[in-house]
Amino acid sequence: MTRPAVLVTNDDGVRAPGLAALARALERDLGAEVTVVAPDREQSGASHAMTIRSPLRFERVAESWYSVEGTPTDCVNLAIFHLLDERPALVVSGINAGYNLGEDVTYSGTVAGALEARILGIASVAVSSAPDASAEDLDAVAAIAARVAAEVLARGLPADSLLNVNVPPAPRGIRLTHQGRRAFREGLIERRDPKGREYYWIGLAPSEWEPDDGADHAAIAERYVSVTPLHSDMTCHRAIPVLSAWGLERLVPGSSR
């Protein structure tokens, strides 16, 4: 079997330990030909942002390792359309330092790296760990990610899907899940600077989840690996029959199709 070409990216930046652990495991366990193309600094929360108002620059930092002045989405584009000799068989994004569960997938640069690959027609997996994962934990997460990646390479993914994989420390097993929903999150964390002026942190306060046994957060809470198939098509298919009954054609009179 020829060595599969695998692109690895992340949103924690090119020096993140999770990135190196992932690249190592994919090389070792899959015999993959791994190219790493990652942001030059942390891009957590960058979501699916694309740099379109300034030029994109990169630096080769080691053999098959590139650092990009941009987002995970930029990295995937630069890799596929410029840096790689061939289209990769798979793109793996991570290992993110911190889970990507529920609606957090919409803020995640890690998930966006995988989503961009999917949009470009390449199978992809996003991988996240506990925020405080140790070096040994990251190696264990990477080994599980490599097993999932091998499965994806062997079988291919269903059309339009990518996998969002979250791995707790010392998992008891693995579960296929769906994206959960946040019930509640404290809005803001307020602090004061040395001059007494208030400032704020958003998105970092603890959250509570809507109870849901089949959700990604429930798997993590019970110390199971969570594998959620995601979609690049954001259409809410369940809403179409409801909206169809609204009779929207009344709002803009014209000939119907």
Contact footprint for Mn ion (CB under 5 A): 11-12, 44, 96
Do the beta carbons of residue 68 and residue 35 sit within 8 Å? no
Taking the complex as a whole, the smallest distance from the CB of residue 98 to Mn ion amounts, in Å, to 6
**Min dist. Cβ of residue 248 to Mn ion (A):** 40
DSSP string across 158-217: PTTEEEEEEE-SS-S-EEE-B---EEEE--EEEEE-TTS-EEEEES-S-EEE---TTBHH
End-to-end CA distance of the chain: 51
Instruction: Report the nearest approach of Mn ion to the CB of residue 99 (Å).
Output: 10
Nearest one of 165, 234, 152 to 18, comparing CA atoms? 165
Cβ proximity to Mn ion: between 33 and 228 the closer is 228
Axis crossing angle, helix 17-30 with helix 135-155, rounded to the nearest 10: 50
CB nearer to Mn ion: pick between 30 and 111? 111
Name the phi and psi angles at 169, rounded to 5: -70, 145
Which residue lies nearer to Mn ion by CB, 30 or 46?
A: 46
Structure tokens at 54: 């300034």
Least separation in angstroms between residue 87's CB and Mn ion is: 26
Chain position whose Cβ is nearest to Mn ion:
44
Among residues 12 and 33, whose Cβ is nearest to Mn ion? 12
**Residues 83, 140, 122, 56, CA torsion sign:** negative
**In whole angstroms, how close is the CB of 192 to Mn ion at the nearest point?**
27
Question: Quick one: 29 or 69, whose CB is closer to Mn ion?
Answer: 69
